[in-house]
Structure formats: C-alpha cells, structure tokens
Amino acid sequence: MSAIRLEGVTKSFGRGKVTAVKGVDLTIADGEFFVLLGPSGCGKTTLLRTIAGLELADRGRIRLGERDVTHLPPRKRDIAMVFQSYAVFPHLTVADNIGFGLRMRKQDKEAVAEKVRWAAELVELADHLDRYPSALSGGQRQRVAVARAIAVEPSVLLMDEPLSNLDALLRLTFRSDLKRLAKDLRTTIVYVTHDQAEALSLGDRVAVMRAGQIVQVDAPMRVYDHPATRFVGGFIGNPPMNFLPVRVDRACWGPRGRIGDQDLALPAGVAAHAGRALLAGIRAENLEPTTDPTPHALAATVRVVEPLGSQLLVTVVVGEHTVKLLTANDFPVEDGAPLWLTPAPDKIRWFCPDTEAEVTFGEGDPGPGRVVSAGGGSPACPD
C-alpha cells in the first residue's frame, strides 16, 4: 500500500520516433482505485508498463511511496500485475501459479500454502487448486491471474485491461467482483482500460489519456458530466456527446443562441457573451424529444431509430448536424418524422471551437484536477 507519484514521465519507442507517453505528471493516492482510460494507442498501457518497470522511462521519475523506483527492475518494485492475456503459467497448477510470487520471495511452504488458500477463496477458486490452467475457462484463468497478484500483497496492483478478453456477461459479473475485491483489499490499484463503462464503474478517479498525455483527471461522474475537452466528451458516453456550433447573437429582446437558423435558449452566464462562437455539448439523454411543435425547441428530422431494449437510440438531423438522443422505449417515433428537441439548459456544456477546451462562465467550480485549464469565468478562448 503506497501512493504513486509520476513526475514528467516520458517514454518513446523506435529511437524517439514514436513518443508513447509525453511528460506525464500524476499523483495517485494510497489505496485509490485509479483508472487510465483512453482509445487504443494513446499510451495508457505504456504508462502502466513504465510503472511496472517492464519499460524504463526515458525521462522523469517514478516514486512508489517514499521509494524512487525509476531505475529498479520489476521484481524490486513490490508490485503485482494482471495482464490482458492473463499470462497464467500453463506448466503450473492453479495453486503453484497463485503461489509463484510468494515462492520467489522465499517464503516458507506453510506460509505460501496459507496465502494461496486465502487468495483462492477471495476469487472463488478454492476448488480448482490442483488443476492446470488448460482445464479452466477464460474467466477462471483471469481469476487465477488476479489471485496470483493479490497473494503477494503488493503495495501497488497494476491491471492491464483484465476484462477485455472475457465475454460480455462474464465481464459484467467480474467487474462487480473486482470492485468488491478492491474495497476489501484497500491496495492502490492502477487499472488500464479502453472501456468507458469499466472506467466509470470501477474508478475512484479516472484519467483520460490522448496521444500520450493526460487530458483530464477527475471523479468518474465529474468526467462524464464535465468533460474537460471536446475529445473527452466525445470519447466517454454511449452514444458520445453531441456537439453543435452555437453563435451567441444579440437580439432586440436580449441575447440568444443560434444553431443554423434556429434559436437555442441560453443560460444567464452564457448570454453575457454576445457575439461569440461556441460549441454546445449535449448528452443524448439530456435532449427531451416531443412529436408536436414546441416553443424554444430545436426542429429536427428523424433519420434512424435503433431500439436498444430499455431505450431507443434515435439519430436525428438538426439543420446540417447529426444528433443522437436516447428516449424511452415506448416513445412514438419513426424514420423521417419531424421531432422537436428541448435540451436541459443546465446540462449543456460549452466548449471553445478553437481550443476544444471546456468553457465555464463563472457558475460552478471547474473542478479540481483539471489538466487542461478551462478557466472559471475567464475562458482562455479567443473571442
């Protein structure tokens, strides 16, 4: 159990041709479940492997607790890791797999056996200790990998997309098991995933990465509700956030937002910035659709209706922009029909069209840990 501090960690491959991680500064608290989220190729796995010591950082320092481990090999870092491909040793039984780390640490036989039983019970594998991994299912193999990692009681537990090789149903059960396990163990966990559902459901905090840099570090709901950039809003959420360019016009009765030739009701803070171009980010579930003409609503035409079971995913066209919205599964809608959309005004997020960073207007705190400064009340966005 220890905190992790990364200071300017940089890692590149191919003699500096590809920079996978660019000067990442990050502090992960003791006992925190920390998720690194990002699209494939954003450097999240490289960052994890650098913490593990499987890659050595080109620049920067890595501290685990009080120790500087930047130049230590993996075995001296007091970490454990769960690999995406499980990496369970096929030539050892389940018990020997779980006890591998302990035996390498030269613990005596009885202590190893006891720890193995304890770890196996935590992941519900106690009945399979004598089997070889080839006799286990994918989910069970992943449990072996998790048990092997927790058996050594590491100060930091690293997980590299541990659920991505499991089928959808198993992933869901394993996810909740993992969350319970993390609560019980109180170990510092760094978890890498490209699956936003995993990130939001598991993490105490989520770091969103893009092109080797961290874009936003926040609590899961904060990342979802207040994406720091357009990229985060578009990456997190299923379907992704809708983005509509809005011009703030001064009309004779006061400022109003214009999307194409339609009006959009503006919250008070935004209305003060007449003449600006902004990008409105609206989540699919924050658009209230009606089939009858509604005042102050955006007129749209339905393109596609996709039933998702509990909800309907409707793709509509507003002016020239495609917008996706979620609605109740009994909502009467069909292809080609007109639809009126009323966005929830306090759920609209504003982004600068040039920098793509979030713009706030003095209402509410932009939140701690924001890496890309969106500026509270004084947006760093050219008018």
Partner 1 sequence: MIILSIPLAVFFLQWGIYDTVWAVALMHTALALPFVVLIVSSVFVAVPVELEEAAQVFGCSRPVAFVRVVVPLALPGLAAAATFAVLTSYNEVFAASVLTLQNPTLPAFVLNGLTMAPLPFRYAGALFLLAPTFVFIFLIRRYLLGLTGRAL
Interaction between residue 71 and partner 1 (CB under 8 A):
no
Q: Which stretch binds partner 1 (CB under 8 A): 58-66, 71-79, 161-169, 198-206?
A: 71-79
Least distance in angstroms from the C-beta of 119 to partner 1: 13
Give Cα 182 distance to the centre of its chain: 17
Residue 361 binds partner 1 (CB under 8 A):
no
The answer to whether 101 contacts partner 1 (rule: CB under 8 A) is yes
Whether the Cβ atoms of residue 350 and residue 276 lie closer than 8 Å to each other: no
- Chain centroid to CA 45: how far? 13
Cβ neighbors of 202 (< 8 A, separation 6 or more) are 33, 35, 175, 178, 179, 182, 191
Number of residues that bind partner 1 (CB under 8 A): 25
Q: Are 187 and 137 contacting, i.e. CB atoms less than 8 angstroms apart?
A: no
At 381, list the tokens: 């966005």
Residue carrying structure tokens 């058996």: 151
DSSP lists the bridge partners of residue 323 as: 316
Considering the complex, state which of residue 80 and residue 280 has its C-beta at the smaller distance from partner 1. Answer: 80
Among 15, 17, 91, 183, binds partner 1 (CB under 8 A): 91
Position 317 contacts partner 1 (CB under 8 A): no
In the shown chain, the binding pattern of residues 125 to 144 toward partner 1, with x for contact by CB under 8 A and - for none, equals -------xxx----------
Does 111 bind partner 1 (CB under 8 A)? Our answer is no
Stretch of 51-59, 188-196, 204-212, 373-381 lying at the interface with partner 1 (CB under 8 A) = 51-59
Sheet with 33-37: list strands edge to edge.
Answer: 79-82, 156-160, 188-193, 33-37, 205-210, 213-218
Q: Does 4 engage in binding with partner 1 (CB under 8 A)? A: no
Which residue in 170, 171, 111, 177 sits closest to 147, CA to CA? 177
162 binding partner 1? (CB under 8 A): no
User: Does 109 engage in binding with partner 1 (CB under 8 A)?
Assistant: no
> Residue from 148, 205, 256, 273 that binds partner 1 (CB under 8 A)?
148
Q: Shortest approach of partner 1 to residue 90 CB, angstroms?
A: 5
Binding window for partner 1 (CB under 8 A); candidates: 99-107, 193-201, 206-214, 335-343? 99-107
Residues 191-210 touching partner 1, rule: CB under 8 A, are none
Q: Using the Cα atoms of residue 225, residue 226, residue 230 and residue 236 in order, give the sign of their dihedral.
A: negative
- Binding part of the chain for partner 1, among 4-12, 70-78, 168-176, 312-320 by CB under 8 A, reads 70-78
- 253 burial class (0-12, 13-18, 19+ CB within 10 angstroms)? exposed
Q: Which of 340, 326, 317 is nearest to 263 (CA)?
A: 340
- Of 100 and 235, the one with the shorter C-beta distance to partner 1 is 100
Instruction: Select the residue interacting with partner 1 from 4, 42, 64, 79 (CB under 8 A).
Output: 79
CA 356 to chain centre: 19
Q: Residue 296's closest CA among 333, 338, 336, 343?
A: 343
- Site membership for partner 1, residue 305 (CB under 8 A): no
- Of 138 and 364, which has the nearer Cβ to partner 1? 138
Q: At 326, which amino acid appears? A: L
Residues in contact with partner 1 by CB under 8 A are 52-54, 73-75, 79-81, 83-85, 87, 89-91, 100-101, 104-105, 132-134, 148, 152
